[in-house]
């Protein structure tokens, strides 16, 4: 029996039906599966400004297959607009609000299935977390990536815009060049065109099998994106008819497939937080050691912006995620037998999907590196681990030692960077920006981009209990756990302490004996909370550490 029978069938539900009739639904529509089409459309997020049209297409697909589409809203934050000020504290926490709202709307109205239309950063994992928590039929259909911009005839994207600010502050470019980048780096709708967090998660939904092939890479402005939404609606009706629920697709095995694709694609370090959170909702918890285990055997095949010169449209025309999956299958690095929302297996979906541009996707015999794009590090600074996007680190920074430059907020650090007070060899430490301490674990795109724009990304490392945008490049090491606000050793570092970073060996340590750390701990006092009112205060009290996905407990 359909779930929606709880609100549409029997004499007892006549009052419920009367409210559907008030909405204009017909008896015939109420006798079909009721599908929640959850759209994050708004006029404040470039990645979402076209989702109204995608939602129309998705509703058409649901109707074509015999279902009744019901359009529902979701909030969504633009991380780029929220970057660099107090608004960024709300970005990661919004993921929990989105997951809870998906659960709330689907349960309150007993929907039979969910067609999820996200696009940008926290909206993708938030919607998926809600669907997996409910374990009802679900399909993800993202809004697709933005095309690359053109500045002085060269393809570019948002990461270059942030780096241009650093170059301007350093006197390396003038106002005219800064203005040209500002106006032309983001040419229209879609998720910003590098392998940043939004595109990472959209590609990983495809790799998991909860989205149709093409979900991660079809450009937002292509007609194929609207066609994809119609097919997604039709696919969801098949899942409802066959009672294929979200956890039958999203489980331990498919998440390991996603991890392998993550490493091959060179995805954002934020994917670690989101995959941990999704795994927890799926009842298939993973730990950070799993990331290094998969990375150790998975070659990195792509260097998309910010790691390299290619963009999402290049990945699309090169064969997309399916071509990457096909390469991994050649070495048995994926489980090709797993089901997907197409009704076919992973191997069946990707059969014959060959690489069409070996600059965008390298063959598995000639990878950028034999190991994956992400690396988890441990040591006395990060006893429960931290994360670096290894594929975006210059070779000379894979091992680095230098004096700590310690800041208790992103704002203090960026002021010193812009003032030219950070020098080659330094290790910038930004603390009290974790899930609890921030609260909200702000992204550090401004500091990393300023360093890159000033030409310091190959000589300065940055360590934080906050996190980094997928647009960051350089030795940007985030998610330090335990965080400073919890009394982690990051809180005990002092200006000038020597820090050793060894990414290949997965180690990060301060040159401090345990006795010195204990002496410092004896006099350390936790700072007062940054936020004492509103829902972020509740979030700070309830959120887990980054090593557990920064989820609400």
Q: Which among 91, 94, 295, 469 is annotated as catalytic?
A: 469
C-alpha distances out from residue 222 to 54, 56, 461, Å: 11, 15, 39
C-alpha distances (whole Å) from 465 to each of 81, 341, 547 are 22, 37, 11
Number of Cα atoms under 13 Å in the Cβ half of residue 292: 16
Is 469 a known active-site residue? yes
Q: Which residues contact 146 (CB under 8 A, 6 or more apart)?
A: 46, 47, 157, 186, 187, 188, 189, 190, 191, 192, 193, 219, 220, 312
Three-class secondary structure assignment of 52-96:
HHHHHHHHHHHHHCCCEEEEEECCCCCHHHHCCCHHHHHHHHHHH
| Cα dihedral 54, 98, 206, 376 sign | positive
Buried b (16+ CB within 10 A) or exposed e, 247-279: bbbbbebbbbbbbbbbbbbbbbbbbbbbbbbbb
What does the alpha-carbon distance between residue 336 and residue 319 come to, in Å, rounded to a whole number?
18
For residue 238, count other CB atoms closer than 10 A to its CB. 15
Cα dihedral 306, 309, 313, 316 sign = negative
- List the structure tokens of 479: 């998610």
Contacts (Cβ under 8 Å, ≥6 apart) of 407: 413, 416, 428, 429, 430, 431
**Cα 185 to Cα 154: distance, rounded to the nearest angstrom:** 10
The whole-angstrom distance between residue 444's C-alpha and the CA centroid of its chain comes to 14
Active site residues: 469
């Amino acid at each position: 029996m359909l779930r929606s029978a709880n609100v549409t069938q029997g004499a007892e539900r006549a009052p419920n039906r009367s409210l559907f009739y008030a909405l204009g639904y017909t008896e015939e529509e109420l006798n079909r599966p009721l599908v929640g089409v959850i759209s994050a459309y708004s006029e404040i997020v470039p990645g979402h400004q076209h989702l109204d049209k995608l939602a129309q297409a998705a509703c058409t697909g649901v109707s074509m297959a015999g279902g009744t589409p019901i359009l529902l809203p979701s909030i969504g934050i633009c991380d780029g607009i929220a970057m660099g000020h107090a608004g960024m504290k709300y970005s990661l926490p919004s993921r929990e609000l989105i997951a809870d709202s998906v659960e709330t709307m689907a349960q309150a109205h007993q929907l039979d299935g969910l067609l999820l239309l996200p696009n940008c950063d926290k909206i993708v994992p938030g919607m998926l977390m809600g669907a997996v928590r409910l374990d009802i039929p679900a399909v993800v259909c993202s809004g697709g990536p933005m095309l690359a911009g053109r500045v002085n005839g060269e393809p570019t994207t948002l990461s270059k815009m942030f780096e241009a600010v650093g170059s301007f502050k350093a006197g390396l470019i003038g106002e005219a060049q800064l203005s040209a980048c500002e106006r032309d780096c983001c040419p229209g709708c879609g998720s910003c065109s590098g392998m940043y967090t939004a595109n990472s998660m959209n590609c990983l939904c495809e790799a998991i099998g909860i989205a149709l092939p093409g979900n991660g890479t079809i450009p937002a402005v292509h007609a194929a994106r609207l066609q994809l939404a119609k097919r997604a609606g039709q696919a969801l009706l098949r899942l409802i008819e066959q009672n294929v629920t979200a956890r039958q697709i999203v489980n331990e095995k498919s998440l390991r497939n996603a991890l392998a694709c993550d490493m091959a694609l060179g995805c954002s370090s934020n994917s670690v937080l989101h995959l941990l959170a999704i795994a927890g909702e799926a009842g298939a918890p993973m730990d950070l050691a799993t990331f290094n285990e998969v990375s150790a055997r998975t070659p990195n095949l792509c260097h998309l912006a910010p790691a390299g010169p290619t963009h999402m449209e290049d990945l699309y025309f090169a064969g997309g995620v399916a071509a990457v999956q096909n390469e991994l299958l050649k070495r048995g690095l994926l489980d090709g037998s797993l089901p997907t929302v197409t009704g076919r297996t992973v191997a069946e979906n990707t059969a014959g999907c060959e690489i069409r541009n070996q600059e965008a996707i390298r063959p598995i015999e000639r990878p950028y590196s034999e190991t994956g794009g992400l690396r988890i590090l441990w040591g006395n600074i990060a006893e429960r681990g931290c994360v670096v996007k290894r594929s975006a680190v210059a070779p000379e920074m894979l091992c680095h030692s230098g004096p700590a430059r310690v800041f208790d907020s992103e704002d203090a650090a960026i002021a010193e960077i812009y003032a030219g007070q950070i020098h080659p060899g330094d290790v910038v430490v930004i603390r009290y920006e974790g899930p609890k301490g921030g609260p909200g674990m702000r992204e550090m795109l401004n500091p990393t981009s300023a360093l890159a724009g000033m030409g310091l990304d190959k000589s300065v490392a940055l360590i934080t209990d906050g996190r980094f945008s997928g647009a960051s490049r350089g030795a940007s090491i985030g998610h330090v756990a335990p965080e400073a606000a919890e009394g982690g050793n990051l809180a005990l570092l002092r200006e000038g302490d020597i820090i050793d970073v060894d990414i290949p060996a997965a180690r990060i340590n301060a040159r401090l004996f345990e006795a010195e750390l204990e002496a410092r701990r004896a006099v350390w006092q936790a700072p007062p909370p940054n936020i004492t009112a509103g829902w972020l205060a509740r979030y700070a009290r309830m959120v887990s550490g980054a090593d557990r996905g920064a989820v609400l407990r």
